Structure 1
Amino acid sequence: MPSNLHPQHLNNPSLAPLLPGGVPRGLAKGAGLPRRYSACLVLMAVSVTIFLLHTVLLSDARNFSHVPLLGRTIQSWSAEEVDEEVLGAEQAEALAFQRRLLADEMIGYVYGRHGDNVTSLAGLVPELGGTPRRSVVLTTWRSGSTFVGDVLNSHPASWYHYEPLLDLDIVQVRGAPLAEKAQETLRQLLNCNYTGLDHYLEYGKKHVFLFTHNRRLWLQCEAHPNLCWRPDFLSSMCNLFPVQNMKVVRLRVRLAEKLLQDPTLPNVRILLLIRDPRGTMQSRRHREWCPGNPDCDDPALLCADLANDYYAAVRLSRKFPDRFKVMRYEDISLDPYRKVKEMLSFLQLNFHPAVRLFLDTHTKENVGGVSSTFRDSKVAPFHWRQDLSHRDVRRIQNVCVEAMKLWGYVPALSAAHQLEFKPLAKFKLK
């Protein structure tokens, strides 16, 4: 076996033809073909074998997600079984590689556009004593946060805390007993401190999508699975990133004030994302985890939260005018380029060509399933008008009168009206 071939490849049936002795017998013997053709075919097979082995061994880290690791998965690998000195060297190598990647991503980035004194990448990198751009997108399930989160993740050098309260299950945090734990988890993650977040990390091992949405981290996890769940590695990796985004769908607005008051997070900015409750309820119907969970499938609870969030938003926008903002998902979808520019300006981020490319490729047509962010953005928020019966719409509207009025959503008056009316009106925080 070649010395540079990892043992993990031995267990992969798809690589069997590439290993020594793996040339099919029929090909090796010419399968009855004349000798000159047999020799040519063997020569071609050897050439392809060498090329593919080189590709497998030197390809980017994503390839390792498809290759069994000596019978183990990324989730089950135990770092305790690896020598600490070896781990330390591997971690140093991974961090050095990530520094180079981030430096490349930020080539040509223009600093100083947002009224601060940041003039270089070092001013934004925690490892170098800088203060990163920190943002929290606050909303509820099926309200456009996946799309908005992916917009932010398309910005260069972004670290993405994807739904860090997933381990709390299908509940909304409105107060005790969950509030304190939830607030502390968010505070720690925004400070790149993964120490003591055992429940969060254990949940992530079994539900890897908690990390896969953070694509820059996940590339490292695929390349270094024995590092992926180690708090010191995650903290060190996080501290390399100048842009740190988070989306939260389980915490109500009133409780987010604690983040804005935290002295360790002097620049964190919160974007409250609102969606028409009729669109939210229609979208939740397609999720198997929603039915039977009152915080998800009861429109009365959704709209009580929307109303309470409105009054909390009024107070926070007055108290933190530069650090708290509200946007409706429908407004972003109808005018994505202008609204994303507005959103990024609030978050002190540039409308980078990478963000424009994301919008160019994700807002024109529908591709993929219910969680896809490839959508015709002008149509996506309003599917409820066709998908919900007017009886269902009335049932939602009857328990959402206050919330819909506060947030500028117009009621449908009949089945015919529902199909042709404009459901949006203007709103403002009073």
Structure 2
Amino acid sequence: MSKRVSFYGLVGLGSLCLVFLFFNQRYGNPLKHRIQPILAMGRSWDEIEPRSLEIQEQILNTNDIKEIDESNASLTVIQHVINQQRRLIREEMIGYQYPKGNYNISANKLEDLVLEKNGRPLRSIILTTWRSGSTFLGDVLTAHPANFYHYEPLLDFDIVQIRGPPLAAEALKNVRALLNCEYADLDHYIEFGKTHSWLFNHNAPLWKQCQAHRGLCSNHRFLSGMCKLFPFQSMKLVRLRLRVAQELLSDQKLAVRLVLLVRDPRGTLQSRKHRDFCPTSPDCSDPALLCADMVSDYAVAVELQKKYPTTFRVIRYEDLAVEPYKHVEELSKFYGLDFHPNVKKFLDTHTKSDAGGVSSTFRNSKAAPFHWRTDLEFDEVEEIQRFCINAMEHWGYVPAMNATHQREFNPITDYVLDL
């Protein structure tokens, strides 16, 4: 009798546990059922109408998101952040002066420039090499509202200059994918970003969310969705030579506008001396390679100026630094951008005095390009000039004749592209 009672007792206890588990699964997490309609659709966040996401966000507050089980949290957080960023962009763009046919750009409203609305962003590219002023010019572009910044997207290729095969095809594929906000096949790039935060942290709106929500910068769905919200994209390339990059100009779908930024090789190599990554790589430390690239870039630039007069331009860093307001306004028009008050404010605060380390963009801009005259010994300058005389002649840089001359002379003169 006691064994029978024990048996039925166990059966009863087991049944009670099953009932409890059923009700807990069905009703135990009411928040889960709030998001179930969206999850059940089997659609990604960017296929869902913004209105439904706004309703969803009203349901989900910050505490709710923390309570969602891990399997659903990623999609929910992405929806929340994307919705928030979409609204921020709309606010930033209030009163913006759209091109409306100026600069050969027909955009009249925000939707014309947003990928998630089948628009085409204005894509602004800076092409140069290491320590040639691109950090400053890149930050000028990021001061513009609603800009998504692809900072050195070939960082994961290491300290190399890409002049052709075998790296050129993969580099161009990655650049195109980023400009199209297609992160799904960029596993190596995303993995690299996990341990190299500067791949993302120059992109202020993106980095803010990546810090607030751990793991977002490793999620290709989030990166793609975030990128597709922005009407403006900027990119600086310091590892891709112009002979390869010119393919981007021929892609009418991308419609990029590309500026080749050139700097005096003596200033470039002086600045590289302060970077730990440079001495171990010939592509970074060898003046002969640097100046061969400058000669090659000049030859290609001559052809591109004829072929793409409205989408390709050259500027020297020295000219930009000496007259920043003039040249930034001209570059803004070239890129099809408004010379926005935010950009003017950036110039007001970043071009008057030196502050920060070697990577800082707070500089006395009129003096910054010419530090090499006092920081380099004449024998160092003479060695650079020995390899660079042709490049310097092409781009309008005057040789130093001796140590005294080096410290007193104006090292730049006019140059022209021989069209």
Which TM bucket (shorter chain)? Answer: 0.7 to 0.9
The percent identity for this pair of structures is 56
Q: In the alignment, does 2:334 pair up with 1:346?
A: yes
Q: Is this contact kept in 2: 1:126–1:132, CA < 8 A?
A: yes
Distance 2:93 2:212 in 1: 23
Counterpart of 2:93, as a letter, is M
Q: Deviations over 1:132-151 (max 9, x none)?
A: 10011000000000000000
Shift, 1:227, TM fit: 2.2
Q: In the alignment, does 2:188 pair up with 1:199?
A: yes
1:128 is aligned, of 117, 127, 137, to 117
DSSP-derived class of the 1:290 partner:
coil
Counterpart of 1:150, as a letter, is D
Q: Is this contact kept in 2: 1:143–1:275, CA < 8 A?
A: yes
Q: Is this contact kept in 1: 2:105–2:336, CA < 8 A?
A: no
> 1:224 — aligned with what?
213
Q: In the alignment, does 2:399 pair up with 1:424?
A: no
> 1:411 — aligned with what?
399
Q: Deviations over 1:231-252 (max 9, x none)?
A: 1111111000000000000000
1:137 is aligned, of 102, 117, 126, to 126
Distance 2:391 2:115 in 1: 40
Distance 1:154 1:295 in 2: 31
TM-score of the superposed pair, with normalisation by structure 2: 0.82
Unaligned runs of 5+ in 1: 1-56, 59-68, 70-80
Distance 1:93 1:395 in 2: 57
> 2:32 — aligned with what?
none
Shift, 1:116, TM fit: 2.9
Q: In the alignment, does 2:374 pair up with 1:386?
A: yes
Q: In the alignment, does 2:103 pair up with 1:114?
A: yes
> 2:47 — aligned with what?
none
CA RMSD of aligned residues (A): 1.5
Counterpart of 1:123, as a letter, is D
Distance 2:107 2:257 in 1: 17
1:260 is aligned, of 227, 249, 252, to 249
Distance 1:196 1:315 in 2: 33
DSSP-derived class of the 1:228 partner:
helix
DSSP-derived class of the 2:261 partner:
strand
Q: 1:247-396 alignment to 2 at 5 Å?
A: 247-265=236-254, 267-396=255-384
Shift, 1:129, TM fit: 1.6
Counterpart of 2:87, as a letter, is R
Does 128-137 or 276-285 show the bigger shift?
A: 128-137
Shift, 1:259, TM fit: 0.9
Distance 1:87 1:149 in 2: 31
Q: In the alignment, does 2:196 pair up with 1:210?
A: no
DSSP-derived class of the 1:273 partner:
strand
Shift, 1:115, TM fit: 4.1
Q: In the alignment, does 2:88 pair up with 1:101?
A: yes
Q: 1:54-203 alignment to 2 at 5 Å?
A: 82-83=70-71, 85-111=72-98, 112=100, 113-203=102-192
> 1:15 — aligned with what?
none
Does 103-112 or 332-341 show the bigger shift?
A: 103-112
Distance 1:393 1:247 in 2: 28
DSSP-derived class of the 1:136 partner:
strand
Shift, 1:228, TM fit: 2.0
Distance 2:216 2:328 in 1: 35
Distance 1:350 1:144 in 2: 22
Unaligned runs of 5+ in 2: 1-60
DSSP-derived class of the 1:213 partner:
coil
Does 228-237 or 403-412 show the bigger shift?
A: 228-237
Q: 1:348 to 1:127 in 2, by over 3 A?
A: same
Distance 1:210 1:220 in 2: 14
Counterpart of 1:201, as a letter, is I
Number of positions where the alignment pairs a residue of Structure 1 with one of Structure 2: 351
DSSP-derived class of the 2:150 partner:
strand
Distance 1:350 1:409 in 2: 32
Q: Is this contact kept in 2: 1:191–1:264, CA < 8 A?
A: no
